[in-house]
Amino acid sequence: MKQVFFDGFGGVRLAADIGGQEGAPPVVLLHGAGQTRHSWYSTARALIDAGYFVVTLDARGHGESGWAPEGRYTMEGFVGDLRAVLDALVVPPAIVGASLGGLTALTAVGEAAMPVARALVLVDITPKMNREGAVKIQAFMRASPSGFGSVEEAADSVAAYLPRRKRPRNIEGLRRNLRADGEGRLHWHWDPAFMSPKEAQEMTPEIEQQFAEAARNVRIPTLLIRGSRSEIVDHESVAHFRSLIPHAEYIDVEGAGHMVAGDSNETFNKAIMSFLSRSFSAVAGG
């Protein structure tokens, strides 16, 4: 894949990788909070091999993308960034969004005056979430403010948070999600201000209502993929989601947690491949 850059909302520079043949059906992959575009590596390769043109994007404040001015990370900024990427594509893509990336995609699609995507895949995210699970995830992200002395220490932190996930033999891939400070300490590759206490970071009833209203306006083929062990998307969340988007398909990935693609990548890839194939075929045939 080749690295490229986009000019995002408010002039924030966005890093992305692209791969596949230009002119092929496009798919945009949006990672979750605290991740980077590299979390999609296996899925992106599978999509490219299947004949898609793929864009994996670092969200603002994450990976190699620029940090938000004054540390303000609002949904307006994330959605504005996605719209900038969509505007640069020749045809509307399918959008696959995990967690924060899913909320960004849902909002962009549901609030657009004209269709901006051909299909939408939400990975373990819905407008209504389990608050206790969300707090647990935020606590992990706020942990280790002084960073780590080595990649091994970072891997230990992940293993403690995700005890059911098999620890990889080679942990060097984790380095792509870390950045070094001036003293050689390693920190997760996101702007510390992203997790600072801000009203915009809280899932208030008003913000949940905004996501619900966006969902009601989604008319394109939609798939919700949930991990059966998800901390934040429970059965009540799924029922609420399906009442908002009755035509949406739903898959429960057995044994996976919130990080569905990482926990069960092969099953995840098969699910989205089938959905995307049918969705693009329906558009071409319609």
* pTM, to two decimals: 0.93
Task: Give yes or no for a contact between 129 and 103, defined as CB atoms under 8 angstroms apart.
Answer: no
pLDDT of residue 285: 45
3-state SS assignment for residue 63:
coil
pLDDT for position 283: 53
Cα 229 to Cα 51, 122, 205: the distances in Å are 32, 16, 25
Domains and CATH numbers, the chain: 2-130+202-285 (3.40.50.1820)
> In the chain, what is the greatest distance between 2 CA atoms, to the nearest angstrom?
58
**pLDDT for the residue numbered 286:** 44
Phi, psi values for residue 206, rounded to 5°: -65, -40
Q: How far apart are CA 251 and CA 267, in angstroms?
A: 10
Task: Give Cα separations from 234 to 122, 157, 205, 252 (angstroms).
Answer: 14, 25, 18, 11
Where is 76: in which H helix or E strand? helix 75-88
Residue 222's SS3 state is: strand
pLDDT digits (tens, 9 = 90+) for 41-92: 999 999 999 999 999 999 999 999 999 998 989 999 999 999 999 999 999 9
pLDDT band at 202 (very low <50, low <70, confident <90, very high): low
Q: Model confidence over 2-26: pLDDT tens digits?
A: 999 999 999 999 999 999 999 999 9
Q: What is the pLDDT confidence band of residue 270, given thresholds at 50, 70 and 90?
A: very high
